[in-house]
Amino acid sequence: MPLRNMHSATEVVDPDDMEETADYLENLTGEMENYF
């Protein structure tokens, strides 16, 4: 789960990590649709 840089709100978040997280959530949503 690519949320390693999200533990601290004061920490600068790498845009690549944000993109990874967005992809992860998108995939998760897709998987959910398969189950429900």
16, 9, 25, 21 alpha-carbon torsion, rounded to 10°: 20
Whole-angstrom distance, CA of residue 24 vs CA of residue 36: 18
Q: Could you list the pLDDT tens digit for every one of the 36 residues in the chain?
A: 455 555 555 566 677 878 888 898 899 888 878 776
* Token pair belonging to 1: 């789960």
Alpha-carbon distance 1 to 24, whole Å? 7
pTM: 0.43
Q: Which domain holds residue 18?
A: 3-34
Count of domains observed in the chain: 1
Q: Quick one: pLDDT at residue 7?
A: 54
